[in-house]
Amino acid sequence: MLKVDKLNQYYGGSHILRNLSFEVPLGVTTLLGRNGVGKTTLLKTLMGLVPAASGNVVFDGREITRAPSYERVRAGIGYVPQGREIFPRLTVEENLLMGLATRPRGTAVPERVFGMFPVLRQMLGRRGGDLSGGQQQQLAIGRALAFGPRLLILDEPTEGIQPSIIKDIERAIRSLAETGEMAILLVEQYYDFARSLADHYLVMERGEIVMRGAGADMDADGVREALSV
């Protein structure tokens, strides 16, 4: 679904992404790597939030390397940024409606979102800022799902979240993958979470993909060891 070819990115003089090439097929692809290897930069480049220096990004057969962010969303890419970034002063309902930018006026938030995260329905009239961290994370995922993306990019959704909600998020991601219609690119540092969801995995180190394979082989391939300091 998503194909990245020889992607390069620099911050000032430092080379952040080095000739990255990989694919994200249907199902869950987890991208693992230690802090500072360029994971978030990669996601921002995929979303067009920082321009790519060179290389190609092809989504669904369409070249989007130079496309502005909103066109990538319109093409069907949903993004859940690190740190959730919900709108604290808007209600849960308004936050979800914000996710419908690319849909015609008056489009409803799909029932599926509430099916996955029932707590959002209970909290519909509350302000985003009044929610707990875990609820905010669910809201951020719900917001990204509202317009019905075909590729969902999640940047460390378990960061600072309590275990019971991590389970909810895990269930939600799995249910999305099981529809067989969505590709999910999950950036994680939490190995067990990534391992339990991954159909495919990628390991990044200093701006390069150093390991890749099937999710089921993660233990055998020694991915956990590769990530431990």
Partner 1 sequence: MTQSERIAPSATVPARRFDAAGILPWAVFALLAAVPLIAPHFGLEYYVGFVRHMLIVAIAATSLNVILGYGGMVALGHAGFVGVGAYAAVALVEAGVGSAWLAWGGALAAGAVFAALTGAVSLRTRGVYFLMITLAFAQMLYYLAVSLRTYGGDDGYGLYTPLSLGWLDGVHGDVFYWVVLALAALVFALASRLAVSRFGHALMGIRDNETRMAALGYPVYRIKLAAFTGAGALAGLAGGLLASHNAFVSPSLMHWTESATLLVMVVLGGRGRRWGAPLGVAIWYTLAEVLKINTEYWHWPLGLMLLLVVFLAPRGVAALFERRRGEG
Footprint on this chain of partner 1 (rule: CB under 8 A): 47-49, 68-70, 72-74, 79, 81, 85, 87, 89-90, 93-94, 96-99, 101-102, 105-106, 108-109, 111, 114, 121-122, 124-125, 143-144, 147
DSSP H stretches of helix in the chain: 39-47, 69-75, 92-98, 111-116, 118-122, 133-145, 163-178, 191-197, 218-221, 223-227
Least distance (Å) between residue 111 CB and partner 1: 8
Single-letter amino acid, residue 17: L
Report how far residue 212's alpha carbon sits from residue 79's, in angstroms, rounded to the nearest whole number.
23
Please give the Cα distance from 1 to 153 (Å, whole number). Answer: 12
Is the Cα dihedral 7, 10, 16, 18 positive or negative? positive
Residues 104/110/114/115 CA torsion (nearest 10 deg): -170
Q: Shortest Cβ distance from residue 227 to partner 1 (Å)?
A: 27
Can you give the C-alpha Rg of the chain in angstroms? 17
Contact present, 69 and 45 (Cβ < 8 Å):
no
Tell me how far, at minimum, the Cβ of 73 lies from partner 1, in Å: 3
Least distance (Å) between residue 206 CB and partner 1: 25
CA-CA distance, 215 to 128, in Å (whole number)?
34
Kindly state the smallest distance separating residue 47's Cβ from partner 1, in Å.
5
**Closer residue to partner 1 in complex, CB, 18/121:** 121
| Nearer to partner 1 among residue 1 and residue 218 (C-beta) | 1
User: What is the spatial distance between Cα 220 and Cα 101, in angstroms, rounded to a whole number?
Assistant: 43
Q: Closest distance between partner 1 and the C-beta of residue 74, in Å?
A: 6
Residue with Cβ nearer partner 1 (89 or 225): 89
